[in-house]
Structure 1
Amino acid sequence: MPRMKKTQKRSREGETSVEPPPSNHPLAKWFHANEDLIFYELRLAGRKEIPPRYLNPTLLDSFNFNHLKEMLSMQGLMNFLQIRDKYYPELTSIAYSTLGIESDSQKPNNFSMVFKLGRNLYRIHCDTLGTIWNLPLQGCLFEGGKIPLEDWGYDKMRAMQLFNLTQNEKSKIPCQTMNDEYRTLLYLVTYVLEPRTSGHGNVVDEDLVLMWAMVNEIKINWPFLILHHMLRIKGKDTSGGIGYLCLWTRIFNYLGIDVSNEFVKHLNVRSEINEATLHHMGRGKEEEAPPMGFRGHPGPSSSSQGEPFMSDLMQVLQSIEYNMDQRFQGIEASQARMETNQQRLDQQIQSLQQEQRKIWRSIRRVEAYTFSEDEDEEQD
Structure 2
Amino acid sequence: MPRMKKTKKRSREGESSVDPPPSSHPLTKWFHANEDLIFYELRLAGRKEIPPRYLDPKLLDSQNFSHLKEMLNMQGLMDSLQFRDKYYPELTSIAYATLGIESSTQDPKDFSMVFKLGRDTYKVHCSRLASIWKLPLDSCLFEGGKIPLEDWGYDKMRAMDLFNLTQNEKSKMPCQPMNDEYMTLLYIVTYVLKPRVSGHGNVADEDLVLMWAMVNEIKINWPYLILHHILRLKGKDTSGGIGYLCLWTRIFNYLGIDVSNDNVKHLTPRSVINESILHHMGRGKGIQEEEQAPQMAFRGHPSPSSSSHEEPTMSDLMQVLQSIEQNMDQRFQRIEDNQTRMDRRLQRMERYMRIQEDEDEDQE
- TM-score bracket, normalised by the shorter chain, equals 0.7 to 0.9
Question: How far did 1:311 drift?
Answer: 10
Describe the shift of the 1:136–1:168 C-alpha distance in structure 2 as closer, same or farther (beyond 3 A).
Answer: same
> Structure 2, unaligned stretches of length 5 or more?
298-315, 356-364
Q: 2:112 is paired with a residue of what secondary structure?
A: strand
2:272 equivalent to 1:306? no
Question: How far did 1:102 drift?
Answer: 0.8
Describe the shift of the 1:3–1:87 C-alpha distance in structure 2 as closer, same or farther (beyond 3 A).
Answer: farther
Aligned to 1:174: 174
Aligned to 1:221: 221
Contact 1:100 / 1:231 at 8 angstroms: preserved in 2? Answer: yes
Q: What is the CA–CA distance in structure 1 between the aligned matches of 2:290 and 2:232, rounded to whole Å?
A: 40
The one-letter amino acid paired with 2:81 is L
Q: What is the CA–CA distance in structure 2 between the aligned matches of 1:79 and 1:172, rounded to whole Å?
A: 32
The higher radius of gyration belongs to 1
Aligned to 1:40: 40
Q: What is the CA–CA distance in structure 1 between the aligned matches of 2:288 and 2:96, rounded to whole Å?
A: 41
The one-letter amino acid paired with 2:74 is M
Describe the shift of the 1:278–1:165 C-alpha distance in structure 2 as closer, same or farther (beyond 3 A).
Answer: same
The one-letter amino acid paired with 1:221 is N
Aligned to 2:206: 206
Q: What is the CA–CA distance in structure 2 between the aligned matches of 1:327 and 1:260, rounded to whole Å?
A: 36
Q: 1:306 is paired with a residue of what secondary structure?
A: helix
Aligned to 1:138: 138
2:220 equivalent to 1:235? no
Q: List aligned pairs for 1:5-44, cutoff 5 A.
A: 5-44=5-44
Aligned to 2:308: none
Aligned to 1:126: 126
Q: What is the CA–CA distance in structure 2 between the aligned matches of 1:171 and 1:97, rounded to whole Å?
A: 33
Q: What is the CA–CA distance in structure 2 between the aligned matches of 1:138 and 1:12, rounded to whole Å?
A: 45
Question: How far did 1:253 drift?
Answer: 0.8
The one-letter amino acid paired with 1:280 is H
Residues 231-271 of structure 1: per-residue CA shift (max 9 Å, x gap): 00110111211111111111111111111111111111111
Aligned to 1:83: 83
Contact 1:180 / 1:283 at 8 angstroms: preserved in 2? Answer: yes
Following TM superposition, where does structure 1 have runs of at least 4 consecutive aligned residues deviating by more than 4 angstroms? 302-305, 310-313
Q: List aligned pairs for 1:307-346, cutoff 5 A.
A: 307=292, 309=294
Q: 1:5 is paired with a residue of what secondary structure?
A: coil
Q: Percent identity?
A: 74
Describe the shift of the 1:270–1:18 C-alpha distance in structure 2 as closer, same or farther (beyond 3 A).
Answer: same
Q: 1:114 is paired with a residue of what secondary structure?
A: strand
Question: How far did 1:327 drift?
Answer: 5.1
Contact 1:55 / 1:82 at 8 angstroms: preserved in 2? Answer: yes
Q: 1:177 is paired with a residue of what secondary structure?
A: coil
Contact 1:63 / 1:284 at 8 angstroms: preserved in 2? Answer: no
Q: What is the CA–CA distance in structure 2 between the aligned matches of 1:202 and 1:35, rounded to whole Å?
A: 37
Aligned to 1:272: 272
Describe the shift of the 1:28–1:79 C-alpha distance in structure 2 as closer, same or farther (beyond 3 A).
Answer: same
Contact 1:303 / 1:311 at 8 angstroms: preserved in 2? Answer: no
TM-score (norm. length: structure 2):
0.80
Question: How far did 1:86 drift?
Answer: 1.1
Aligned to 1:164: 164
Question: How far did 1:59 drift?
Answer: 0.7
Question: How far did 1:12 drift?
Answer: 3.8
Aligned to 1:370: none
Q: What is the CA–CA distance in structure 1 between the aligned matches of 2:118 and 2:330, rounded to whole Å?
A: 37
The one-letter amino acid paired with 1:309 is P
2:62 equivalent to 1:62? yes
Contact 1:177 / 1:303 at 8 angstroms: preserved in 2? Answer: no
Q: 1:97 is paired with a residue of what secondary structure?
A: helix
Q: What is the CA–CA distance in structure 1 between the aligned matches of 2:106 and 2:3, rounded to whole Å?
A: 42
The one-letter amino acid paired with 2:121 is L
Question: How far did 1:277 drift?
Answer: 1.1
Deviates more, 1:239-248 or 1:176-185: 239-248
Question: How far did 1:151 drift?
Answer: 1.7
The one-letter amino acid paired with 1:267 is L
Question: How far did 1:144 drift?
Answer: 1.8
Describe the shift of the 1:252–1:310 C-alpha distance in structure 2 as closer, same or farther (beyond 3 A).
Answer: farther
Residues 171-210 of structure 1: per-residue CA shift (max 9 Å, x gap): 1100000000000000000000000011100001000000
Q: What is the CA–CA distance in structure 2 between the aligned matches of 1:214 and 1:269, rounded to whole Å?
A: 28
TM-score (norm. length: structure 1):
0.77
Q: What is the CA–CA distance in structure 1 between the aligned matches of 2:27 and 2:51, rounded to whole Å?
A: 24
Contact 2:147 / 2:209 at 8 angstroms: preserved in 1? Answer: no
Q: What is the CA–CA distance in structure 1 between the aligned matches of 2:212 and 2:110, rounded to whole Å?
A: 26
Describe the shift of the 1:267–1:179 C-alpha distance in structure 2 as closer, same or farther (beyond 3 A).
Answer: same
Residues 20-63 of structure 1: per-residue CA shift (max 9 Å, x gap): 11111100000011111011111111111111111111111110
Aligned to 1:293: none
Q: What is the CA–CA distance in structure 2 between the aligned matches of 1:311 and 1:159, rounded to whole Å?
A: 34
Contact 2:77 / 2:135 at 8 angstroms: preserved in 1? Answer: yes
Aligned to 1:260: 260
Describe the shift of the 1:184–1:311 C-alpha distance in structure 2 as closer, same or farther (beyond 3 A).
Answer: farther
The one-letter amino acid paired with 1:272 is V
Q: What is the CA–CA distance in structure 1 between the aligned matches of 2:25 and 2:78, rounded to whole Å?
A: 42
Residues 271-328 of structure 1: per-residue CA shift (max 9 Å, x gap): 111111111111123x5xxxxxxxxxxxxxx599522527999xx99x96xx78x959
Q: How many residues align?
A: 320
